[in-house]
């Protein structure tokens, strides 16, 4: 079986995810990376969009899910994973990473991230 994939990295959003009430009001900057594995043999042969994962549609799905506030980035990543799997039944595995770029903690850090990985 082929392990072809489409990867979308560095999708940036201002969203309202977080446990603290202020995070639901002020929001934060987030970055989302996704990897979707599937057999792309037909797409490579036919040059047909219907034979692959439409990454424009995938970005739309991520954007829709990022617009729905959640307390935990784990919950956001899980919703994105579920929506992508429902939209693209050809996907056999992949990953979703959600990063909060300025977590409200008293330490300087680059980001706080959660990654979920799956394989059918």
21 burial (CB, 10 Å; 0-12 / 13-18 / 19+) is: exposed
Residues in the chain: 120
First-to-final CA distance of the chain: 12
**Residues noted as catalytic:** 100
Distances in Å between the alpha carbon of 7 and those of 21, 36, 46? 33, 6, 21
Classified as helix, coil or strand, 112 is strand
According to DSSP, the residues that pair with 12 across neighbouring strands are 31
| 8 A C-beta contact, residue 90 and residue 41 | no
């Amino acid at each position: 079986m082929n392990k072809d994939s489409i990867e979308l990295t560095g999708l940036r959003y201002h969203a309202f995810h977080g446990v603290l009430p202020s995070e639901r009001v002020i929001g934060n900057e987030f970055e989302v990376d996704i990897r979707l594995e599937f057999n792309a043999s037909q797409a490579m042969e036919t040059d047909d969009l219907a034979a692959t994962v439409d990454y424009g549609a995938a970005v739309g799905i991520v954007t829709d899910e990022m617009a729905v506030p959640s307390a935990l980035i784990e919950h956001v990543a899980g919703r994105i994973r579920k929506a992508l799997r429902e939209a693209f039944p050809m996907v056999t595995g992949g990953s979703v990473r959600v990063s909060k770029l300025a977590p409200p903690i008293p330490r300087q850090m680059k980001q706080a991230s959660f990654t979920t990985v799956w394989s059918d």
